[in-house]
Amino acid sequence: MMKPAHVSIRAVGSYVPPKRVTNDELATTVDTSDEWIRSHTGIGARHLAEANEATSDLAVGAVKDLLRRHGIEKESIGAIMVATATGDFPGFPATACVVQDKLGLSLVPAFDVAAGCTGFIYALEVARGLVSNGTVPSVLVIGAEKLSAVTNWSDRNTCVLFGDGAGCVLVQGASESEGTIIDSVLHAEGSGSGYLCIPRGGTNISTELVEGDDGTKLHMDGRSVYNFAVRVLGEVIEELLSRNQMTIEEIDWIVPHQANSRIITAAARRLKVDQKKFFMNIEDYANTSAASIPIALREMEEEGLLKRGQKIMTIGFGAGLTYGGNLIQW
């Protein structure tokens, strides 16, 4: 297989469950309020999957949206990669393999990427490598999460933050530079791995837990994660600019992981960047982890905000602690 001149994003798609839960509705079962949630996070509602709806079902919904909207045949998919922290099964088989089966695609490579909320950023760069090396002609990169399944719904500090959904992009070789993935940076700080995690469920059985907590739900040190996110969001933007000899004025859009509006506000203030340059849709979807950036890209495309030739940064940060970003010419 010949190596392509460029590696581009050809199409985007997304899917969120129909069930929409507003802050007021959540406040009927949790000691919270719409005013508190909005003022602390910027979230107004979230979409939640049904009990019998798996992460792979959300992923397939996003893929079908991409194929339908862009008139693409599924047979053109050369590989499937799912970025997720809430896969169908603990460890194996990979959720991507389940997606492959549900789509009726046989033999194409399928695997998962586990990098928390930064998963889509990592997966996009892995896809770029596979395509640029001529290993496969295209990669379907999916970010999909059913966070409602691992949320402690009695913890008012964390349960208000998360939602379910999936987004995807088709990455393929191209002769022209439209949609090109120009550069990526990937980092991790493992010393903070305990700040955002599910303590039990893998091979770690040494974690001490408080009475009545089995450790199988998501735990977060909110202050530590907030400080980390504000710091690295700015660092990634500055690193991508420096590596590519660009100024912030040359960037049309910054599409960050949708974790908390206050993180974006604080980072923009530190960078002295107009917050309007950051696309945000957390109000309608809450934090969907690895799915948040592709869901945002799909919404931006639908609203006509993405124009050919624009320079876009996608920035992720989250569990791991992982962080990174992609520079894309749309």
Catalytic residues: 117, 257, 287
3-state secondary structure of 67: helix
Nearest residue to 37 (alpha-carbon basis) of 217, 316, 287: 287
Distance of CA 149 to the CA centre of its chain: 17
Sequence-ordered alpha helix ranges (H) in the chain: 23-26, 34-41, 55-70, 95-103, 119-132, 222-243, 261-271, 282-285, 292-302
Q: For residues 209 and 139, give the distance between their C-alpha atoms in angstroms, rounded to a whole number.
A: 41
* 197-203: long-range contacts, CB 8 A cutoff, minimum separation 24: 197/319, 198/150, 201/90, 202/90, 202/91
DSSP labels for 228-258? HHHHHHHHHHHHHHHHTT--GGG--EEEE--
